Amino acid sequence: MAQYDVIVIGSGPGGYVAAIRCAQLGLKTACVEGRETLGGTCLNVGCIPSKALLHASHQLHEAEENFAKMGLKGKAPSVDWKQMLAYKDDVIGQNTKGIEFLFKKNKIDWIKGWASIPEAGKVTVGDETYETKNIIVASGSAAASVPGAEVEIDEKVVVTSTGALELPKVPKKMVVIGAGVIGLEMGSVYKRLGSEVTVIEFLDTITPTMDIEVQRSFKKLLGKQGLEFTLGAAVSKVETKGGKATVTYKLRKDDSEHSVDADVVLVATGRKPYTDGLGLDALGIETTKGGQIKTDGHWATNVKGIYAIGDAIDGPMLAHKAEDEGMACAEVIAGKAGHVNYNVIPSVIYTHPEVASVGATEQELKDAGKAYKVGKFSFMGNGRAKAVFAGDGFVKILADKETDRILGCHIIGPSAGDLIHEVCVAMEYGGSAEDLALTCHAHPTFSEAVREAALACGDGAIHA
Ligand code: FAD
């Protein structure tokens, strides 16, 4: 029976990063993965394939909308969907193979199959049971269905994001249930590829956790791109017949019932922790009502020697949050001081324009009665953005009224997902808006808009 210091269950961004850090810290490590390939949801059916399709469809949009304006004339490219899927699969393959390489490099054993935990200190996969001093559960999450509605997911006509990443053809009409990150990203992809896309959302806003100004601007910009929204609508059922679907919903404002037909319905109403088959109940591991594994501040469950990280525990279901927990948990197991600053976890939507945020929203500061100031700068005042047809959107920095310390930042605009990180670094160091404003930013870059927003927290932006 093999003896390990650590067995990690699941090879998503939480699990594989934890395994690599454990090995780097000198712990004998194995990682169990039930899927055929490493990398979890993120690399196989999540972040990476969705970004490949977002990239490809954005290139088409640029060709159709902007090439002629720049004097690039000629026929716009047409969509070879099979080839686009092959490109996406190639990107997945390169990334999952990359994790395989890193496992070999770090001498991590990849145990193939589905794991269960018969008791603390043991992990069973198939007929084998492995002994280990520590177990890290990084089993991730699965798509949730529509609460209170009759919906059967067949991954053909009624799909989750997994099915939406490999549809046999671009649908003429797509209905997306849920105006969260995944629904809007995939909705954007298909809209750009020529589908008619309607997004049905229970709440009266899209992306409800985002700053309200960003939400409004984002909805307007997506609307301009042709996405249609039905907000404040509770879906009651989705029926399929002859390869098509009908979605029935009630408008919450007047209880009136409506229905809409679609070739494909994407259910994007969130994700739930996935812990099936691990045997958590028999072990007495505490979970929340929503199925998340309960952990303390050091990712330890209530059973000694068993830890949990990533989507399977509390907090935002994001790959980088899982990665940070993976590294920190490995460090705790190795006797070091692992730490994750949950106040500085950026969140990004990879549509065009991108949306990114970190820290508090303005509403949260208002609700907390905190005295704050706002510095805002429009990308219309940024020369680089105007040159590349990306003047829509703005940077908004929220800083403490007294101390000027940065409390939050919300960006909608070009490369928002990259721009947010200078604010993250500033926040990690307890930086002020003035710190950003006094930092020289190269011209012409989108990042000058971040500096201008920081200047707007003080004596004023220059180009506003
Ligand atoms: P996962 O990545 O879900 O990995 C868990 C792994 O554990 C799986 O491979 C599973 O097969 C395996 N497993 C489970 N149980 C067992 C068992 N008993 N035995 C063996 N193996 C097991 N996040 C971002 O930050 N940015 C994005 O752009 C982004 N885009 C996304 C797009 C889509 C379409 C989706 C669905 C998600 C996206 N996410 C994104 C979320 C991100 O994918 C997750 O937050 C992240 O993958 C969570 O990592 P994890 O390691 O906790 O779990």
Q: Is 345 annotated as a binding residue?
A: no
Q: Would you list the DSSP string of 277-289?
A: TS-HHHHT--B-T
Domain 150-269 has CATH 3.50.50.60: yes
Q: Is 311 annotated as a binding residue?
A: yes
Residue with the two structure tokens 């949009």 = 61
Among protein residues, the one with the nearest Cα to ligand 1's atom 46 is 319
The phi-psi region of residue 140 (left if phi > 0; otherwise alpha if psi is between -120 and 50; otherwise beta) is left
Q: Is 178 annotated as a binding residue?
A: yes
Which of ligand 1's atoms lies nearest the C-alpha of 113?
20
Q: 408-426: per-residue pLDDT in tens?
A: 999 999 999 999 999 999 9
Write the single-letter amino acid at 179: A
Quote the ipTM score: 0.99
Of 201, 205, 206, 155, nearest in space to 175 by CA: 201
Q: Is 185 annotated as a binding residue?
A: yes
Q: 202-233: per-residue pLDDT in tens?
A: 999 999 999 999 999 999 999 999 999 999 99
Q: What is the DSSP letter of 300?
A: B
Among protein residues, the one with the nearest Cα to ligand 1's atom 32 is 46
Distance from the alpha carbon of residue 131 to the mean position of ligand 1, in angstroms: 25
Q: Do domains 4-143+272-334 and 150-269 have the same CATH topology?
A: yes
Which of ligand 1's atoms lies nearest the C-alpha of 13?
51
Which of ligand 1's atoms lies nearest the C-alpha of 311?
52
Strand, helix or coil at 233? strand
Distance from the alpha carbon of residue 281 to the mean position of ligand 1, in angstroms: 22
Distance from the alpha carbon of residue 13 to the mean position of ligand 1, in angstroms: 7
Would you state the pLDDT for residue 76?
80
Write the single-letter amino acid at 269: T
Q: 9-61: per-residue pLDDT in tens?
A: 999 999 999 999 999 999 999 999 999 999 999 999 999 999 999 999 999 99
Would you state the pLDDT for residue 2?
65
CATH topology of domain 4-143+272-334: FAD/NAD(P)-binding domain (3.50.50)
Cβ distance 181 to 270 under 8 Å? no
Give the residue extent of every domain in the chain: 4-143+272-334, 150-269, 347-457
Would you state the pLDDT for residue 75?
85
- Whether 298 is catalytic is no
Distance from the alpha carbon of residue 454 to the mean position of ligand 1, in angstroms: 35
Please state the φ and ψ torsions of residue 222, each to the nearest 5 degrees: -65, -35
Within 13 Å, how many C-alpha atoms sit on residue 340's CB side?
Answer: 25
How far apart CA 420 and CA 206 sit, in angstroms, is 21
Spot the catalytic one: 61, 410, 421, 443. Answer: 443
Q: Is 72 exposed, middle or buried (0-12, 13-18, 19+ CB in 10 A)?
A: exposed
Antiparallel, parallel or unpaired: β 173-177 and 372-378? unpaired
User: Which parts of the chain sit beneath pLDDT 70?
Assistant: 1-2
Cβ distance 115 to 125 under 8 Å? yes
Among protein residues, the one with the nearest Cα to ligand 1's atom 7 is 10
Distance from the alpha carbon of residue 14 to the mean position of ligand 1, in angstroms: 8
Cβ distance 129 to 118 under 8 Å? yes
Q: How far is CA 277 from the centre of its chain?
A: 25
Q: Is 356 annotated as a binding residue?
A: no
Mutate to test the pocket of ligand 1, among 42, 306, 351 (most ligand atoms within 8 A of CB): 42
Domain 347-457 has CATH 3.30.390.30: yes
Distance from the alpha carbon of residue 310 to the mean position of ligand 1, in angstroms: 8
Q: Is 313 annotated as a binding residue?
A: no
**Pocket lining for ligand 1, CB < 6 angstroms:** 9-15, 32-35, 40-42, 46-47, 50, 114-115, 138-141, 161, 182, 274, 277-278, 310-312, 317-320, 322, 350
Which of ligand 1's atoms lies nearest the C-alpha of 51?
28
Write the single-letter amino acid at 324: D
Cβ distance 6 to 26 under 8 Å? no
Q: How far is CA 22 from the centre of its chain?
A: 25
How far apart CA 67 and CA 60 sit, in angstroms, is 10
